[in-house]
Amino acid sequence: MDEIIKQNNNETNNNNGMNNNNETNNETNNNETNNETNNNKINNNNEMNNNNEMNNKKNIDNDMDSTIDTLTTQQAKIILKILSGDSVLILGKAGTGKSWIINTIKKIVKNTNQNKIVSVCSTTGLSALNIEGSTINSFCGIGICEDPVNVIIAKIKRRRKIIEQIKSTDILILDEISMLSCKTFDIINEVFQQVLYSKLPFGGKQLIFIGDFYQLSPIIKDDKKKLNDNSLYCFESELFKKVFNKDNTIILNTVFRQTDKRYLQIINNIRNCKLTKDNIKLLRSRIVKDPESISKNIIRLHPLIRQVTEENNTRLAELPGKEYKFEAEFYGDNDLVYELKKQYASKDINIIKFKIGARVMLNVNLSLDLGLVNGSMGTIIQFIDGLKIIKEETNKKEMNKEEANKKEINKEEINKEEKNNEEKNKEEKNNEKTNKEEKNNEKTNKKEINKEEINKKEINNEETNKKEINKGEKNKEEKNKDITSDDIINNSIDVFQNVGMAKRFIIVVKFDNGVIQYLEKYPRELKQDIRNQNGIITTKRAIAKQFPLILAYSLSIHKSQGQTLEKALISIENCFAYGQVYVALSRVKTLDGLYLYDFNSNQIKTSQKVIDFYDDLYDEINKQSEESEKNNDEENKKNNDEKDNSGNNDDDDCKN
């Protein structure tokens, strides 16, 4: 695999003549970007990023080796095709690691050829945020595609930045293609052709399209038009069939999310709209008669946004205490900031509201080692505003009892301290008397006595310090044995004074896996590389900062796409879109973690067009595999015949 990557690296370098002066270009690139950036915050973040990049380069070979070693056969095939310059269509069921393969592609392309510019896009703001990309509509400047094509293109040609980023792109990655309509696909193609003055599909750019057509379908305002439209999906475009043939289509079959084979079979049957009686019986056994009896810690999934909003607001209002509002911060390139703001608005995280005790969900992969990934659930146990600890609120009676107990304990401690002080004072007075007597009696030995007293004091100080240190170490050991939220509350001020966090706002979350995590506003970066006429690459950047949490009493099925959930209570009664039930149920890892408000198999909607598309695809793949097997058999036969003939000739030579 390493040899193939090196070979492809050399080939791509030879094909890009205008980028021969790589190192000098990159240096001028860094200087230009620093000069063009006026925002101090973005400069600081860029410096941090550059330092991280320098550190990462030291381990680049190890990272490449470890990444390659973890690839499945299908994933390795994808990488080989991409490095060869082929366009690739990647299809995969829910939970097959499609988002992971996007990040892997970016990493490997960057490491094998740094002159290649990879532009990452998605069909929705929600999914674009998850992969650190832009929406395809924003990237191409096509808006919502309501205007005629010629009007759209005329507007784009007046936007220099759109033209620059299209021209600079070498590889276009597009995620969630199930939501890309045929109309939008054709418009994007025409925009690329017009901007690049090329009749080749997408102006000759390399394309990597990723998704699953069995999942959520393109959004069209008129539902009747959606169900009757003869060209709803992008695969219905004639151009799509030319760009993505059977040879460059790869299907990911290995599901990593579900390990429960029984539940995985049910999900696959929902996907294909082929539920058995046993499947239906099992699903109905998961219906909850009294939803209120299910723990509020289990998230609810609903098909309608209004249901989600109502439930989240109700649950938050039920909690006692003050409500805290947090606004996202944006800075950097104006165009990219505008794009980030739209993405945050689509995910409802531009402004978030929490209270102590609120159920929340992590919306980033924070730490795989700690099990803190996108979809991890937890509860807010405290806020830290500078050095002010905002504790979890309890009942007034309990608070009064605790305060009374604390007062009694404090009184006892004060009395003990006073007694100790009195005894110390007595001892000091006695010492003074003895000292006076000694001074009067032994005037000649004053200096020696003073020295001895000083030494004694120093020894006493050392002993007291040792005792205090030992006490501190014992306390630390006891605390480390069983760390609780109370321990965190009691020690937070000391911790944050030591690490210089006194002026920051922290949310402390206890996750369901037992991990207690301090969370600050999390930075997400959106960047776009631009290559000028001289081949010099500059990078535009924007950063958004927000706490990586969402309120998680309820979530819409659309916004759950891409999430992995341990448990969920799901309503499918009002499911209206193709693939919506499949998306909802495939979020949950096991059948035991699935709870249903209701279940009616008639709510499962799968487009016949999608079924036919996959059937044709599998038929063609099977034919190709059969043909390749036949060819292999024929080649083996020829090789065997040649060996037999050569063997006979050798025998004749020996006889002669």
Do the strands 329-332 and 171-175 form a parallel or antiparallel pair, or are they unpaired? unpaired
Q: Taking a C-beta distance cutoff of 8 angstroms, is the pair 72, 254 a contact?
A: yes
CA 554 to chain centre: 20
Q: What is the pLDDT of residues 178-220, one digit of tens each?
A: 999 999 999 999 999 999 999 999 999 999 999 999 998 897 7
For the purposes of burial, counting CB atoms within 10 Å of the CB of 501, is it exposed (0-12), middle (13-18) or buried (19 or more)? Answer: middle
Give, for 77, the enclosing helix (H) or strand (E). Answer: helix 73-83
What is the pLDDT at residue 337? 95
- DSSP state for residue 85 in the 8-state scheme: T
* Residues in the chain, overall count: 656
Tell me the pLDDT band of 110, cut-offs 50, 70 and 90: confident
Q: Which of 251, 238, 248, 234 is nearest to 618 (CA)?
A: 251
pLDDT at 171 over 50: yes
What is the pLDDT at residue 245? 87
pLDDT at 593 over 80: yes
How many Cα atoms sit within 13 Å of 260 on the Cβ side? Answer: 14
* Token digits of residue 405: 């107990």
Q: What is the pLDDT of residues 214-264, one digit of tens each?
A: 998 897 765 444 444 556 899 999 999 999 988 899 999 888 888 889 999
What is the torsional sign of CA 342, 345, 349, 352?
positive
Vertex 313: Cα angle to 310 and 317 (nearest 5): 135
pLDDT at 266 over 80: yes
Q: What percent of the chain has pLDDT over 90?
A: 43
Tell me the pLDDT band of 38, cut-offs 50, 70 and 90: very low
- Nearest-angstrom CA–CA distance, 203 and 82: 17
Q: Is 535 left (phi over 0), alpha (psi -120 to 50) or beta?
A: left
For the purposes of burial, counting CB atoms within 10 Å of the CB of 203, is it exposed (0-12), middle (13-18) or buried (19 or more)? Answer: buried
Give the residue with greater pLDDT, 226 vs 97: 97
Token pair 């008397």 is found at 433
- Nearest-angstrom CA–CA distance, 87 and 75: 15
- DSSP state for residue 393 in the 8-state scheme: P
Q: Which of 565, 556, 618, 615 is nearest to 263 (CA)?
A: 565
Which of 65-74, 476-485, 562-571 bottoms out in mean pLDDT, i.e. has the lowest? 476-485
Q: What is the pLDDT of residues 476-498, one digit of tens each?
A: 444 444 444 444 444 444 444 44
Q: Taking a C-beta distance cutoff of 8 angstroms, is the pair 202, 243 a contact?
A: yes
- DSSP state for residue 114 in the 8-state scheme: T
3-state secondary structure of 186: helix
Q: What is the mean pLDDT of residues 522-546?
A: 92
pLDDT at 563 over 50: yes
CB count within 10 Å of CB 190 equals: 18
Q: Taking a C-beta distance cutoff of 8 angstroms, is the pair 63, 106 a contact?
A: no
Q: Taking a C-beta distance cutoff of 8 angstroms, is the pair 521, 404 a contact?
A: no
pLDDT at 428 over 90: no
- Nearest-angstrom CA–CA distance, 292 and 120: 42
Tell me the pLDDT band of 441, cut-offs 50, 70 and 90: low
Q: What is the mean pLDDT of residues 43-55?
A: 44
Tell me the pLDDT band of 45, cut-offs 50, 70 and 90: very low
- Nearest-angstrom CA–CA distance, 114 and 57: 12
Vertex 261: Cα angle to 259 and 267 (nearest 5): 95
3-state secondary structure of 542: strand
Helices first, then strands: H and E counts in the chain? 23, 21
Q: Which of 103, 167, 113 is nearest to 139 (CA)?
A: 167
Based on C-alpha coordinates, what's the Rg of the chain?
33
Tell me the pLDDT band of 111, cut-offs 50, 70 and 90: confident
Q: What is the mean pLDDT of residues 365-375?
A: 88
What is the pLDDT at residue 645? 61
What is the pLDDT at residue 30? 42
